[in-house]
Amino acid sequence: MRRLDELAQNGYCRLPTFLSPAEAAGWLQRLDECRGSFRAVGGKGGLGLPFHMMDGEQAMARLGDICAQLQPRLQEVAERVTGKRLEPIRDRRRALRIQRYRGRNEGFRWHFDGSHTTALLTLGNSNRGATEVVPASWTPLLKPLFYALYPLRDVFSLFPHVTLVAEPGELVILSGRAVLHRGAVGDGPGERVVLLAAFDPTGAKPRPIQDWIARRFNY
Ligand SMILES: O=C(O)CCC(=O)C(=O)O
Ligand SMILES: [Fe+2]
């Protein structure tokens, strides 16, 4: 299947060898050198799951080389896979994020992204965490239900979904605004470390209300 068709049909597309295992391990080591700079996120209003993150502005200040090398490569692949001209979302803090999910209780609850396309690069996954995605065919039903059932988001696990357990170096391109997805907690000790880059089509109209909602509800 062509990647474009795969993305349209499933809402995601996997590129398992985007980075070599050695390259992924090298970047992970760089992140570990600034371990102390990751902040604990408890989830807004106590409704989200905990995890640790470094936002785009902090990443630019502390890990400028990662940003400079990886973000353009992620954008290029995301453009190729979506067949669209893309640009990083306007909010620089959310345009690039590094997220760490430790042990068996850190994760990211079911949500839709505020941005059109997300490139999700796995750098480490020793606790076997996963990205879970509900197929796009459920979206027309789930979009209106999502905000109504927001406090009960765990019920969305009852819908059919795929579980993507990525190895270090795998890149997933996700139509994050179009499919319900989550960062599922791992089933062992260790942690999953992902770098996310968020893109919108070039010249897309600003969506201040939707952006506010995404920020308010997601992080
Ligand atoms: O961690 C994951 O697998 C998904 C994270 C996510 O969807 C997000 O940060 O928007
Ligand atoms: Fe997301």
pLDDT of res. 66 = 87
pLDDT of res. 43 = 58
pLDDT of res. 204 = 85
pLDDT of res. 61 = 92
The answer to whether residue 74 is domain-embedded is yes
The answer to whether residue 107 is domain-embedded is yes
Query: For ligand 1, atom 1, which residue shows the shortest CA distance?
Result: 183
pLDDT of res. 150 = 82
Residue positions counted in the chain: 219
Based on the structure, what is the number of domains in the chain?
1
Does ligand 1 come within 6 angstroms of the Cβ of 186?
A: no
The closest alpha carbon to 101, from 48, 59, 30, belongs to 48
Q: What is the DSSP string of 3-24?
A: HHHHHHHHSEEEETTSS-HHHH
pLDDT of res. 186 = 92
The answer to whether residue 219 is domain-embedded is no
The answer to whether residue 15 is domain-embedded is yes
Distances 111 to 60, 94, 182, 201, 212 between C-alpha atoms, Å: 26, 15, 6, 20, 14
- Structural domain including 96 reads 3-214
The answer to whether residue 124 is domain-embedded is yes
The answer to whether residue 165 is domain-embedded is yes
The answer to whether residue 110 is domain-embedded is yes
Query: Which segments of the chain have a pLDDT < 50?
Result: none
CA distance 101 to 189: 10
The answer to whether residue 70 is domain-embedded is yes
How many angstroms does the Cα of residue 182 sit away from the middle of ligand 1?
6
Q: Indicate which CATH number applies to the domain containing 138.
A: 2.60.120.620
Does ligand 1 come within 6 angstroms of the Cβ of 112?
A: no
| Parallel, antiparallel or unpaired: strands 86-88 and 162-164 | unpaired
The closest alpha carbon to 51, from 38, 36, 63, 61, belongs to 38
